[in-house]
A and B are shown apart, each in its own frame.
Chain A
Amino acid sequence: NAGVTQTPKFRVLKTGQSMTLLCAQDMNHEYMYWYRQDPGMGLRLIHYSVGEGTTAKGEVPDGYNVSRLKKQNFLLGLESAAPSQTSVYFCASSSISRGNYGYTFGSGTRLTVV
């Protein structure tokens, strides 16, 4: 059982380039999330999805887009990368009926924009 898998693990982009981060979960979870983690600022929610075909904005959505065409996948796109988007990105998933189990996180993608 792989849980939540993020690809790639590392990436360096030039300013203005675009890229897509992929998140895949094999737990049949309904909810999926993208967070960014920066020193001293904690985890901040970028976008989230409560089901296939639905997405919503989180706390810091500007400069990002997302899609959830399949229940198990949640894609995060950077349209035109900026140095301010240098961060570690985490995907997470959770279930409506999870009880006490909280989120399951991926291992993160470290993105550097130069």
Chain B
Amino acid sequence: EDQVTQSPEALRLQEGESSSLNCSYTVSGLRGLFWYRQDPGKGPEFLFTLYSAGEEKEKERLKATLTKKESFLHITAPKPEDSATYLCAVQVVGNTDKLIFGTGTRLQVFP
């Protein structure tokens, strides 16, 4: 069964304290891995897509990496405005365009 697991469930960081979020996946064939950011009361907002092991994408303080079993979202010197829930999702080969989501990591960054 295709599955996505995110850890930790929640993470509290001091402003400037770098850390990483994990997304591990078990799929029959990976077509793409997606990262989204979700603010309270809003829909998820697209951040990155990764397609193959070794690929990396960066956007401001965020950097996403991919291996054959997991993806990391590295947050460098976070600011309070980075506080949100970060969702990971996988697209499986032969599964049309559907995404399978993890349960997310709720990040809080304190000044």
Contacts and interface: CB of A to CB of B under 8 A. Distances in A.
A103 interface: yes
Interface stretch (A39-47, A65-73, A79-87): A39-47
Interface residues of A, number: 26
A50 B96 contact: yes
Interface string A75-114: 0000000000000001010101000111111111000000
B104 A50 contact: no
Contacts of B34: 102-103
A48 B100 CA distance: 13
B98 A48 contact: yes
A61 interface: no
A94 B99 CA distance: 11
B8 to A, nearest CB: 14
A67 B74 CA distance: 40
B49 A100 contact: yes
Contacts, number: 54
A74 interface: no
A102 B101 contact: no
Contacts of B98: 33, 45, 48, 58
Contacts of B96: 31, 48, 50
Nearest to A4: B43
Nearest to A3: B43
B102 A105 contact: no
B60 interface: no
A28 B98 CA distance: 18
Contacts of A104: 46
Interface of B: 34, 36, 41-46, 48-49, 87, 89, 96-99, 101-104
Given A100-B49, A103-B46, A105-B45, 12 more contacts: A31-B96, A35-B101, A43-B87, A43-B101, A45-B98, A48-B96, A102-B34, A102-B49, A103-B34, A105-B43, A105-B44, A107-B41
